[in-house]
Structure 1
Amino acid sequence: MQTAPPARPSAPVRPQPPAQLLNAVQALGAGFAGDVGIAVRDIDEGWSVAWAGDTPRPQQSVSKLWVAIAVMDAIDRGRMSLTDPVTVRRSDLTVFHQPIRALVGPDGYRTTVGDLLRGAMTRSDNTCNDVLLWRVGGPEAIRRMLAAKRIAGVTFGPGERELQARTAGLTWRPEWAGGWGFLQARAAMTHAARARALDRYLAAPIDGASANGVTLGLSLLAQGKLLSARSTASLLALMRSSRTGPLRLKSGLRPGWTLAHKTGTGQDLGALSTGYNDVGLLVAPNGHRYAVAVMIASTRVAIGTRMRLMGNVTRAIVAAAD
């Protein structure tokens, strides 16, 4: 008597994204007048949807997230503490948004690692971030961390000062610390020279990351695979307290939903805007979690239109979860 061969175990059924959300993300990406990447990753079920989600785009201040993770990782390993004292010198000042600049006198400004982290993550202070970057080991330390923690699709640039100088087609000079010298040098350039430099940057951003790579990193963070439970909670609390971009992803929230996020904003040249981003961890009232990234590499549309796109991505996630 023949016996039937043993049944093969069936492959696990992979959760599928809601068709409503997939269609919405595709429509939002296709309908936007600019180079945009959109990614949504369901952290609890594992599915993801994206529009042009694998193309590297400028991160700008989104990259502060990776510095913060490296700092918290160093704290977890006992190499650093949030209470460690730090003196910020005038020579540490960077460019563009740096609220701490007003506090840095001739003898510097005495603060702590924790306060610098809060400034970088809630106010996107460039100097706070750069001081932490070099304290944790510089750009190479961040790149090693990204590789070690398998955050694929994310690279890290040379630090704020060199990044902004190279984006404008300049080479950073130490005497530009504080930003005015840089702004004057950039203003002295021809439009054509700046346009060539910006085109080079957009073609191969030295701080590039894909939307899918960013949502992977956010998912690993939310799952507790990057940091200790305490450090994860502390970092996400800072991200929920962010004061930047209140009308970007946040504009699509409904009551009971929360967003822990990090924005990024690059340089403009005439009507062209670059590196206009918002990424974060979206949590439903029932605790269900989504990683989301909207990364606009370049566009000429008005700020309100960019914000509306981001809010609409959040609204699409909320609607699909109902």
Structure 2
Amino acid sequence: MWEMLNDPNLRWILMGSILLGFGNGIVGTFSYLRKESLLGDVLAHAALPGICIAFMLSGVKSVGLFLVGAAAAALAAAALTNLISRRSRIKPDAAMGIVLSVFFAIGIVLLTRIQHGSYGNQSGLDKFLFGQAASMTMGDVYVLGGTALGMSLICGLLFKEFKLVSFDPAFGRGLGFKVTALEYALLTLVTVVVVTGIQAVGVVLVAALLITPSVAARYWTDRLAAMTVLSGAFGAASGAAGAWISSGVNQLPTGPISVLAATGLFLLSVLFGPKRGILSKLLLRRQAKRDWISKQLAKAGAGAPATQAGTANPAGERGASL
């Protein structure tokens, strides 16, 4: 860890991974509660054709142009998903699966055309599939830091509104809130964190870093505020673990290791989370069984003298009558 802090390049990777995980964890909480876990996957896979089109139109490998193209394609995929689910009888999860497959297939076709066409094989666009955190620079860290800070401020200012939209949007409409605008605001936040995380984690794995910390945090608390903070902390810890492990072992990518670290935190939460964890449930069941047995023994102990007294009185009455 000290070697990472002393090396400037490794320090940028560490800071970028922490900020990326924190931002994904904060925003992923509301996406998970709204049962839109697949939405992040849709946006991530839909970003690939946007990146390819941006390169084909400009002919320049510019991360800024790639992110603009990815954001435009992701928003188009989200709008198409919403249109399919509302204008047809197709359910939202099926619409997400259709849009994800179509956009990702288009991205693969365009990527293959770029690599085998006049654009050359050195475009480096294939790195966006699985990410390359090692290519992050100080400017990327500033972007991730600004994104994480902006996500935290927006979620803090609109916390009550996002909470209402996540649990009961119909009740929010009844109170006069602009639920549709709030839903689009959440969609925009998810798009931003997904697009900014593509460079480090890739389009294939960025959705996992968006949802897994939130699911892990759900096992530790029933309060949304605490869950949001825990989700951000779990995401940051996953990013730090991924950067640290990948820096110590050669040929290990940071993005997939960060996702595996988040999965490890999820498994620990499933096992040891209070009230919801497997171990906690086993202990509660054992305690409930002990309480039930003690109550039954107490009832049996209290009923024994009364039974003996009830059998002794008739014998005494018969003896007195004789």
- Tell me the TM-score normalized by structure 2: 0.31
Structure number with greater Rg is: 2
Name the structure where strand makes up a greater proportion of residues. Answer: 1
Name the structure where helix makes up a greater proportion of residues. Answer: 2
- Tell me the TM-score normalized by structure 1: 0.31
